[in-house]
Amino acid sequence: MGITLRSRPGSGWLNATACAAASVAVIAAPAVQAQAKPKPADGIYTCIDDNGRRLTADRPIPECTAKEQRVLNRDGSLKTVHPPTLTAEERAEKEIRDRKAAEQRAAQADAVRRDRNLTARFPNEDAHNKAREAALDNVRIALRTSELRLKTLAAERKPLLDEVEFYQGRQLPLKLRQQIDANDAATDAQRSAMANAEAELVRINRLYDAELDRLRRLWAGAPPGSLGPVATTSASPAAR
């Protein structure tokens, strides 16, 4: 491409400027053309529509949004598979499935972690029995304390009842009535505490029995997390 510039005499500086601008324009033209050239497609999309026609395009095919679309390389080999576009209802169902799957994975990971922690804490049955006895001892101490307190309350009650006999057929003094009522309330509270402690002994033994059964299977080679869900009671032996 040739460009001829004419100028009046005495305008040498203008001629030089014009020549430089023309040269830049000539050089820049191919670059502009290169930039304007469309970017080649990532691949060739192909699918079969509802009428059985095979469709091909250089971008996702609208007629096949609900179908799987194959994406091919220029040489015809398979590059990837474009999944169907889901409807709003299908997306909601997929989100529910994904959430349930994530919850199951989290529960499984938690079971594996708990089983590993369990075997690390109790490498053998002796260690587990010691932990059981330690947990039971705390409750047994509470039981013995309640028993002693009941004996004390019974001893305190005897003179009160003797005094009641003195007032047979008459109204009891207010102070005596209050002392008897306080003794009754304290006795009921201790009996309730003993009942709770006895129930706690049963609960702890059941928890340790279930835990020991799980440990025996883990010690025998069962993979961590393969024995079903782990009890998550906050007062379970493993949680303490």
- Residue 19 falls inside a structural domain: yes
pLDDT at 233: 52
Q: Would you say residue 7 has pLDDT above 50?
A: no
Residues 54 and 25 in one domain: no
Residues 118 and 7 in one domain: no
- Residue 95 falls inside a structural domain: no
- Of 59, 63, 17, 7, give the one whose Cα is nearest residue 38: 59
Residues 134 and 178 in one domain: yes
pLDDT by residue (tens digit) across 115-166? Answer: 999 999 999 999 999 999 999 999 999 999 999 999 999 999 999 999 999 8
How many domains is the chain built from?
Answer: 3
Q: Which domain holds residue 121?
A: 105-239
55 pairs with which residues across the strands?
47
- Residue 2 falls inside a structural domain: yes
Neighbours of 96 (CB within 10 A): 10
Q: Would you say residue 32 has pLDDT above 50?
A: no
- Residue 24 falls inside a structural domain: yes
Residues 157 and 78 in one domain: no
Q: Which regions of the chain does DSSP assign to beta strands (E)?
A: 44-48, 54-57, 69-72, 78-82
Residues 115 and 163 in one domain: yes
Residues 129 and 156 in one domain: yes
pLDDT grade for 230, boundaries at 50, 70 and 90: low
**Which strands form 78-82's sheet, in the order they lie side by side?**
54-57, 44-48, 69-72, 78-82
Which helix (H) or strand (E) covers residue 60, if one does?
none
Residues 148 and 218 in one domain: yes
Please tell me which residue, 33 or 197, carries the higher pLDDT value. Answer: 197
